[in-house]
Amino acid sequence: MEKTPTAEEIISIVEATVAAYSNSPVWYKTDIKKYMIQFAKLHVEAALKSAYNNIEYTTVDSSVPYVVEESILNSYPLNNIK
């Protein structure tokens, strides 16, 4: 799985972009909102891929497989979001 950027890495990208267009380090609310949404989308996508790749199954009283809930809930540790 490719590395999901940290908040610090996203901020560095934003700072570089701002610096390329202006001498002012001032960020506007719309810029901050845009990059926060991008950061969240990247981590949600990574979490969903991780959940899909880590699904475990078990059988209970029959041959019908059931998803082990913890295999999904624990598939993307919250400490990945930095």
> pLDDT tens across 61-80, in order?
777 888 888 888 888 888 87
Structure confidence at residue 24 (pLDDT):
62
Structure confidence at residue 33 (pLDDT):
81
Structure confidence at residue 25 (pLDDT):
60
Which parts of the chain register pLDDT below 50? Answer: 1
Environment class of 71 (CB within 10 Å of its CB; exposed 0-12, middle 13-18, buried 19+)? middle
Structure confidence at residue 1 (pLDDT):
47
The answer to whether residues 45 and 81 touch, using CB atoms and an 8 Å cutoff, is: no
